[in-house]
């Protein structure tokens, strides 16, 4: 036990003196913290969802051999689902075409894909599976669909498997006498990717060269040949402009361009608008809180004039009085802030449990990580502490400057 009185017990004693009023004040701080924290947390969750959604949209354009388009009657596939994987076909071109595509305006990324074969492996799936080669260094369509981010890029001897393929991560699979380790599993895509095994391009060429992989009648797969080049646009690029430029650059006799027919941009814009609305609401809550908390602080300071005057008479310096009044406000803000953040988290968890959030937000709601949550909590706490300091500064300053004689005689 301290031999002398320390500041904290005195502050707590002061707070216990008017429990109703102080609980109400702490509740104000809790409400502010909960509003700020929950708003930002939901936004971060929605932004995470839209971010994942956008990253999983795959390619913006698919450049394929012109023969493939001719086979499709010039229409190409009904491309209203994310372009994650090229269509299986035996039409190929050399991946050197990427040098030409890369010169098109607005192209920010490219990745080749090779359809190897379709085989029936009962141990892996009850239906035939597709085998694809991807370039692990440039891939941007398969990686976002993995259940868990990979620890390292896909290496030789490793595969990613679609959601419909059997086998756990780190287990082995056998494709035509070649053994591979599953390095990652994809979330459901509701597309052919669900029953696809993805190898590195080098492994794909090796597997293709192995007797029995391709049907005897199928054309050989030469090293360097690919079925499609998946193209990603830069953020400001216009799809039509990019498509036209690729068409202009690649020889029309060798390749064709398939564009995507849908976009998540409107949803993304909605989320950004929502972000503005939530930030505005947070700002209004903060602005409304200032006078409210300032009024409470002024009331408290007035109510405690005599006590403060007595402290001052007993030798309390102005800065000590100022510190005391501010500290009480800070303790209330801290208690309210912690309660508000905790309450906000609990409310979100309760809403999230039955899937309410998922239904309310037009994208998958992804809970922010622990670190992001800590940052958001820190932001909310900083806001309430700032409100506490700013709103109680003037009353604290005023009472600390008051003559102890006047404070004692006029205080209640």
Partner 1 sequence: MIEVLGVTKSFRGPGREVRAVDDASLHVGKGEFVLILGRSGSGKSTLLGLIAGLVRPTSGSVRIKGNDIGLLSDNSLAELRAREIGFVFQFSGLLPTLPALENVLVPTLLCRGGPGTRSRAREILARVGLTEREDAYPATLSSGEMKRVAIARALINGPSLLIADEPTGDLDVDTEYEIMDLFRQLNLEGMTIVMVTHNPDLACFATRLYVMDRGKLGLEPGPFPAKDREPGNAAAGAPDDE
Stretch of 4-12, 197-205, 232-240, 278-286 lying at the interface with partner 1 (CB under 8 A): 4-12
Stretch of 14-22, 123-131, 190-198, 379-387 lying at the interface with partner 1 (CB under 8 A): 14-22
Residue ranges in 261-317 assigned as alpha helix (H): 265-303, 305-313
Is 404 a binding residue for partner 1 by CB under 8 A? The answer is yes
Nearest-approach distance from CB 311 to partner 1, in angstroms: 7
Give the one residue of 16, 75, 152, 179 binding partner 1; rule: CB under 8 A.
Answer: 16
- 114 burial type by CB count under 10 A (0-12 exposed, 13-18 middle, 19+ buried): buried
Nearest-approach distance from CB 404 to partner 1, in angstroms: 5
| Comparison of 2 and 96: residue with beta carbon closer to partner 1 | 2
Output b/e per residue, 132-141; b: 16+ Cβ within 10 A. bbbbbeebbb
- Return d(Cα 124, Cα 173) in angstroms, integer: 8
Quickly count helices (H) and strands (E) in the chain: 12, 11
| Comparison of 10 and 379: residue with beta carbon closer to partner 1 | 10
CA angle 372–285–354, rounded 5-degree value: 50
| Comparison of 24 and 313: residue with beta carbon closer to partner 1 | 313
Nearest-approach distance from CB 385 to partner 1, in angstroms: 23
Nearest-approach distance from CB 330 to partner 1, in angstroms: 17
Is 10 a binding residue for partner 1 by CB under 8 A? The answer is yes
| Comparison of 315 and 354: residue with beta carbon closer to partner 1 | 315
Is 408 a binding residue for partner 1 by CB under 8 A? The answer is yes
Contact mark string toward partner 1, 248..287, x via CB under 8 A: ----------------------------------------
Question: What is the sign, positive or negative, of the torsion defined by CA atoms of 114, 117, 123, 125?
Answer: positive
Is 351 a binding residue for partner 1 by CB under 8 A? The answer is no
Stretch of 47-55, 137-145, 258-266, 400-408 lying at the interface with partner 1 (CB under 8 A): 400-408
Is 225 a binding residue for partner 1 by CB under 8 A? The answer is no
| Comparison of 7 and 24: residue with beta carbon closer to partner 1 | 7
Is 46 a binding residue for partner 1 by CB under 8 A? The answer is no
Nearest-approach distance from CB 323 to partner 1, in angstroms: 11
Contact mark string toward partner 1, 305..344, x via CB under 8 A: -xx--xxxxxxxxx-x------------------------
| Comparison of 17 and 347: residue with beta carbon closer to partner 1 | 17
| Comparison of 8 and 262: residue with beta carbon closer to partner 1 | 8
Residue 142's alpha-carbon distances to 214, 223, 306, 348, 368, in angstroms, are 24, 22, 71, 31, 23
Is 140 a binding residue for partner 1 by CB under 8 A? The answer is no
Nearest-approach distance from CB 7 to partner 1, in angstroms: 6
- Return d(Cα 180, Cα 175) in angstroms, integer: 8
User: How many residues in the shown chain lie near partner 1 by CB under 8 A?
Assistant: 32
CA angle 290–296–297, rounded 5-degree value: 85
- Return d(Cα 112, Cα 93) in angstroms, integer: 10
Nearest-approach distance from CB 334 to partner 1, in angstroms: 19
| Comparison of 379 and 397: residue with beta carbon closer to partner 1 | 397
Is 281 within 8 Å of 146 (Cβ atoms)?
no
Contact residues: partner 1, CB under 8 A: 1-7, 9-10, 12-14, 16-17, 306-307, 310-318, 320, 403-406, 408-409
């Amino acid at each position: 036990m301290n031999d002398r009185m320390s500041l904290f017990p005195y502050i707590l004693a002061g707070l216990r003196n008017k429990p109703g009023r102080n609980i109400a004040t702490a509740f104000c701080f809790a409400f502010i913290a909960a509003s700020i924290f929950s708003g930002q947390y939901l936004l971060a969750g929605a932004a995470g969802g839209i971010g994942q959604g956008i990253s999983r949209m795959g390619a913006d354009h698919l450049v394929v051999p012109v023969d493939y388009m001719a086979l499709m009657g010039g229409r190409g596939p009904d491309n209203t689902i994310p372009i994650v994987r090229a269509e299986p076909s035996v039409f190929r071109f050399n991946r050197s075409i990427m040098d030409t595509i890369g010169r098109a305006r607005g192209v920010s990324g490219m990745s080749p894909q090779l359809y190897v074969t379709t085989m029936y492996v009962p141990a892996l799936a009850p239906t035939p599976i597709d085998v694809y080669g991807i370039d692990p260094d440039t891939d941007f369509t398969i990686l976002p669909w993995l259940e868990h981010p990979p620890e390292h890029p896909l290496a030789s001897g490793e595969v990613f498997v679609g959601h419909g393929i059997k086998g756990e991560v780190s287990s082995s699979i056998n494709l035509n006498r070649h053994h591979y380790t599953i390095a990652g599993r994809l979330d459901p895509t509701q597309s052919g990717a669900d029953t696809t095994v993805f190898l590195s391009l080098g492994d794909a060429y090796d597997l293709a060269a192995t007797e029995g992989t391709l049907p005897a009648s199928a054309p050989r797969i030469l090293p360097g040949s690919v079925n499609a080049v998946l193209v990603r646009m830069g953020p400001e690029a216009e799809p039509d402009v990019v498509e036209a430029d690729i068409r202009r650059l690649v020889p029309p006799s060798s390749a064709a361009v398939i564009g995507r027919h849908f976009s998540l941009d409107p949803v993304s814009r909605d989320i950004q608008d929502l972000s503005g609305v939530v930030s505005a609401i947070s700002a209004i809550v903060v602005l409304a809180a200032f006078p409210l908390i300032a009024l409470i602080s002024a009331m408290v300071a007035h109510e405690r004039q005599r006590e403060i005057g007595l402290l001052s008479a007993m030798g309390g310096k102005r800065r000590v009085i100022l510190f005391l009044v501010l500290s009480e406000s800070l303790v209330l803000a801290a208690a309210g802030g912690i309660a508000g953040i905790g309450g906000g988290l609990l409310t979100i968890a309760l809403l999230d449990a039955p899937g309410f959030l998922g239904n309310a937000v037009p994208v998958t709601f992804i809970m922010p990580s622990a670190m992001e949550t800590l940052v958001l909590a820190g932001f909310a706490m900083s806001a309430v502490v700032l409100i506490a300091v700013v709103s109680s500064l003037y009353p604290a300053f005023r009472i600390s400057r008051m003559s102890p004689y006047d404070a004692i005689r006029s205080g209640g």
